[in-house]
Every structure is written in C-alpha cells, then in structure tokens.
Amino acid sequence: MAAVEVSGLRKTYGDLVAVDGIDLEIAEGEVLAILGPNGAGKTTTVEMLEGYRTPDAGTVRVLGADPQTGGRAWRERIGIVLQEAGFEELFTPRELIRLHAGWYPHPRAVDEVLAMVGLEDKADARVRTLSGGQRRRLDLGLGIVGSPELLFLDEPTTGFDPSARRRAWDLVDRLRDTGATILLTTHYLDEAQHLADRLMVVDHGRVVAEGTAEQLAASAGLGAVIAFRLPEGVTVADLPDLGAPASAVGQVAEVRTSRPTADVAALAGWAVQRGVELVDLTLTRPSLEQVYLGLVGTEAAVDAAGEAAPAEGVD
C-alpha cells in the first residue's frame, strides 16, 4: 500500500485557486520532493495531507486514513515540520523535545534528537535566545522525536547557511535509511535533486512535471547542444544532414538536437572523410536547472536565488 495517495486535490481561497487538481502517490520508504516557486501551492497541499487544511475537493489517504478523521493513533505515526512554527520562548530545546517525546508511544531519546539536529550546545538555552537557523533545527527535532513512519518537511532548510543545509541533508538521508517515508517541499532545486527519489514540480497549483531528476532533464525536450568551430572555407550549408539545422555565429556552429549521439557520429564521419578537424567540439546537455527554469519561468529562479543568500542573524 502506498503511504500517501491523493487524487483530484483542490483548494481555493476566495477567487484564488491555490491547489488545482493535484494527484500524487508516495510509496512506503520513498522520498518525494514537491518543488516549486513561492505561492505555487506547496504548503497548502502538504497541510491538507497533514489534516491542517480542509480540501474543497479530492480524496486524500495518508497511511490508510483520511487526515480529516485520522485519530490520535494515526497522528502518532506522522512527523510534521511546518513552514512556520511558533515556540514557547521561555522553554529550552531539551525541555520542548522531552515534552513532545511524551506524546508518542515510541519516542527517540532526547539526547539522540539533540545530536541528530546539532543542537547539543544549545540544549539548555532558552528558545528566545536561539537564532533563526537554530530554531529551524529545533523544528526538525520536534518533527522526528516520535520516530515517525511518515515525515512532512515544509521548506526545512529555508534560511540555512550552506553548512547547516548540508547537516539537514545528512539528517534526512539518515531518516531515509531508517525506512521513513518523507514528503518535503523546497524551492531549492539542488535540495530536491540531492534528497529526493522523485521530484514533483508544481506551479500555480498544478503538477507541471514529475519524475526522477534524470527523467525531468530528459523529458523537457531541450535535447542537447553540439558546438564546434567550422573548418576553414566551410559553411553550415556544407555540413551533413543532422537532427536539426545547424546555425553559426561567426565560425562557431551550433546544433540543438534531440539525437545527439547520431549527430555527433554523422559530424565526426563527415570531418574524418574530408580530413578536417572539428576544433572545440563539445556536446552539452541541458542542466536540470535549465529544465526547471523552462517549467516555472525565470522570475521564480531570481526569487529563489535571492533567498539563497543567508539572511542576517540566521545560521
């Protein structure tokens, strides 16, 4: 049985359609990343799976239950890290983790959780003295203290500096190794690529692409680009038949092709036969980033890049 099964999920806020018919399935033990720009509908989707928001339409099964009616026993099997969480500012991380541990039948040891999220040094400091990144690590700790079978992580590393992000990635990798199913959202492509078995790209409340990173890169139809310097006295008109017409800027020819292997072979055969060298011959495949930008537009990318810089006072 799948850990999560969703079909036709929809949610509107007044005139705004935030989630516009999303289908998704997550196998047990799978790590799925929902990737998309701000406002794409990621949080709304995840919070409907957590039982925090009520869908307008669609069916949702999470660990075999409807989140709207899943009782305490269901909730104990799930770990949640919300995009925005509030804390009791006067407690310490150790106290909060211990408190949360008491709600679950099979909690992790408090010290183990503190170590897993790298908060040993701040275990006994009041929450109000923690930095933004340290608070986020506490969020992570509270999400995993109950040894969840299924973990929801809504933008777990937004605002982390690169080393804190690496540590969080290691933590997710370790949780995956324990067999946990994980649904995470992120607007960082590299994070989705690093952590997830499968990516689902959403934009404007719809799934615009889905698959492994390799499948997404391949499915985008951008193909590959072959480039080389045209030999002396040769124009693109002299080239052999290729999968797509070659163009040239000055002496540099370019072919954007969906059959790169055949075209490289044809070009190489042609050059060898004429006894000319294809100087600066390169074959470039589109990066996943280019594919992603093609799907969600560059505005979203600028936005994500802007947020990637660590904010002041956040570690």
∠ Cα 30 36 38 (to 5°): 135
Q: How far is the CB of 195 from ligand ADP (least distance, A)?
A: 17
Q: DSSP assignment, residue 11? A: E
Cα separation, 178 vs 30, whole angstroms = 11
Binding characters for ligand ADP, 41-70, by CB under 6 A (x = yes): xxxx--------------------------
Total site size for ligand ADP, rule CB under 6 A = 11
Q: Which residue has the tokens 């990798």?
A: 173
- Name which of residues 6 to 25 contact ligand ADP (CB under 6 A): 13, 16, 18
Cα separation, 49 vs 61, whole angstroms = 8
Cα separation, 204 vs 296, whole angstroms = 9
Q: Which is nearer to ligand ADP, 29 or 39 (CB)?
A: 39
Contact partners, residue 69, CB within 8 Å, separation at least 6: none
Q: Which does 39 bind (CB under 5 to 8 A by kind): Mg ion, ligand ADP, none?
A: ligand ADP
Q: How far is the CB of 252 from ligand ADP (least distance, A)?
A: 41
Cα separation, 25 vs 1, whole angstroms = 10
Residue (of 201, 199, 189, 200) closest to 165 by Cα position: 189
Q: How far is the CB of 188 from Mg ion (least distance, A)?
A: 13
Q: Which is nearer to ligand ADP, 40 or 217 (CB)?
A: 40
Segment near Mg ion (CB under 5 A); pick from 39-47, 84-92, 103-111, 160-168: 39-47
Q: How far is the CB of 59 from ligand ADP (least distance, A)?
A: 19
Q: Which does 68 bind (CB under 5 to 8 A by kind): ligand ADP, Mg ion, none?
A: none
Q: Which is nearer to ligand ADP, 39 or 310 (CB)?
A: 39
Q: How far is the CB of 297 from ligand ADP (least distance, A)?
A: 14
Q: Which does 136 bind (CB under 5 to 8 A by kind): Mg ion, ligand ADP, none?
A: none
Task: Choose, by CB under 5 A, the member of 7, 12, 83, 251 that binds Mg ion.
Answer: 83
Coil, helix or strand at residue 16? strand
CA distances to 57, 170, 234 from 35, rounded to whole Å, are 22, 19, 46
Segment near Mg ion (CB under 5 A); pick from 36-44, 103-111, 157-165, 221-229: 36-44
Segment near Mg ion (CB under 5 A); pick from 78-86, 158-166, 271-279, 293-301: 78-86
Q: How far is the CB of 258 from Mg ion (least distance, A)?
A: 35
Residue (of 242, 194, 216) closest to 296 by Cα position: 216
Would you say 134 and 122 are in contact if contact means Cβ atoms under 8 Å apart?
yes
Q: Which does 18 bind (CB under 5 to 8 A by kind): ligand ADP, Mg ion, none?
A: ligand ADP
Q: Strands, E, within the chain: which ranges?
A: 4-13, 16-26, 31-35, 57-62, 78-81, 150-154, 181-186, 198-203, 206-211, 224-229, 247-249, 252-257, 279-284
Would you say 48 and 7 are in contact if contact means Cβ atoms under 8 Å apart?
no
Task: Choose, by CB under 5 A, the member of 3, 6, 37, 43 that binds Mg ion.
Answer: 43
- Name which of residues 26 to 45 contact ligand ADP (CB under 6 A): 36, 38-44
Q: Which residues bind ligand ADP (CB under 6 A)?
A: 13, 16, 18, 36, 38-44
Which residues contact Mg ion by CB under 5 A?
42-43, 83
